[in-house]
Structure 1
Amino acid sequence: MVDIEHIRQLIEMMVENDLVELSVKHGEEELKLRRPNVAEAAAGASPAPAATALPATAPAAEGGEAAAAEDEAKLAKITSPMVGTFYAAPSPDTPPFVKVGSDIRRDTVVCIVEAMKVFNEIKAEISGTIVEIHVENGAAVEFGQPLFTVRRS
């Protein structure tokens, strides 16, 4: 019988080696593990946050509402590429990577997500200004969970 600690070690090995799928057979027992985001991993890309555009509201008749809708169309979310623990700073005694109002570029590290004792630097993947931080430091995050809202530049 496969114990949970052995499964954890296998998952950690998958993360460390960017494996998408792992199959282990021992006697009559067979264990198959598959990581999410298969299409991206199969293409050879490392896990990266998805920058998704927020849906724009329908254009309004009034100029103020139209301007608000246009402004909202420039907003995008940076989401977590994995399940783990969110860290806003590289260590507890250093300032956060970004704060509301910070200007970022595609290669700017915006946070760290710890998964299986591996600290993964999360890059913005878009350029703009941070307008909202959705997660508290040290909080658990899920795959696809919004971390930041960014106004594209």
Structure 2
Amino acid sequence: MLKNKYPIDPALIRELAQVLTDTDLTEIEVAHDDLKIRVARQITVHTTVAAPVAAHAPAAAPVAAAAAAAPVVVDDPRKHPGVVTSPMVGTAYRRPSPDAKPLVELGTVVKEGDRLCLIEAMKTFNDIAAPRSGTVTRIFFEDGRPVEYGEPLMIVE
């Protein structure tokens, strides 16, 4: 039985969980012989969507509409309503091949479903598509850099 052959140390699990907290990693795995211990956490990204302004609103509505059209400034990109996050751990690429031009640049206008970047995980390239139509206003990763699950990749406003 696993219980007799591999005693699981709760202190080790707590220590691994602390490493996740200290380093902002989302998962860690330790292996010894046939025993593997994987500790993971989920990062939840909350988004807020502004309510549309009614057409018959009072005279203050044009000011509210202009404010709603202005870019949203958020200190933490994970809290931005237009954030595109990595759905997996892997290596992020802005280009489909080393000699190709980037899929998107700052200011690129995209439609929902357009390819924004690629994430390579386990020798498989995964397309990351735009979840909404808009303009790419920020890009947070360098081409060929590792990314974590839930890490902000870019902002589409």
TM bucket normalised to smaller: 0.5 to 0.7
CA distance in 2: counterparts of 1:51 and 1:99, whole angstroms: 24
Kept in 2: contact 1:80–1:141 (CA 8 A): yes
CA distance in 1: counterparts of 2:45 and 2:84, whole angstroms: 5
**5 Å matches for 1:112-151?**
112-151=118-157
Work out the percentage of aligned pairs sharing the same amino acid: 40
CA distance in 2: counterparts of 1:36 and 1:116, whole angstroms: 21
Q: Displacement of 1:118 after TM fit? A: 0.4
Cα offsets for 1:91-122 (capped at 9, x unmatched): 01000000000001111000000000000011
User: Which of 37, 42, 53 does residue 47 from structure 2 map onto?
Assistant: 53
Q: Note if 1:94 corresponds to 2:88.
A: no
> How high is the TM-score relative to the length of structure 1?
0.55
Compare CA radii of gyration and give the structure with the larger one: 2
Q: Note if 1:105 corresponds to 2:111.
A: yes
Cα offsets for 1:36-73 (capped at 9, x unmatched): 98xxxxxxxxxxxx9963688xxxxxx7xx93896318
Q: Which structure 1 residue ranges, 5 or more long, are not aligned? A: 1-28, 38-49, 57-62
| Count of residues in correspondence between the two structures | 104
Kept in 2: contact 1:52–1:76 (CA 8 A): no
> How high is the TM-score relative to the length of structure 2?
0.54
Measured on the aligned residues, the alpha-carbon RMSD in Å equals: 3.4
CA distance in 1: counterparts of 2:46 and 2:117, whole angstroms: 17
Q: Answer 1 or 2: which has greater strand percent.
A: 1
Q: Which structure 2 residue ranges, 5 or more long, are not aligned? A: 1-33, 51-62, 74-79
Kept in 2: contact 1:54–1:72 (CA 8 A): no
User: Could you tell me which amino acid in structure 2 is paired with residue 67 of structure 1?
Assistant: A
Q: Are residues 87 and 69 of structure 1, via their aligned partners in 2, closer, same or farther at CA, if it must alter by over 3 Å?
A: same
CA distance in 2: counterparts of 1:54 and 1:131, whole angstroms: 18
CA distance in 2: counterparts of 1:98 and 1:82, whole angstroms: 20
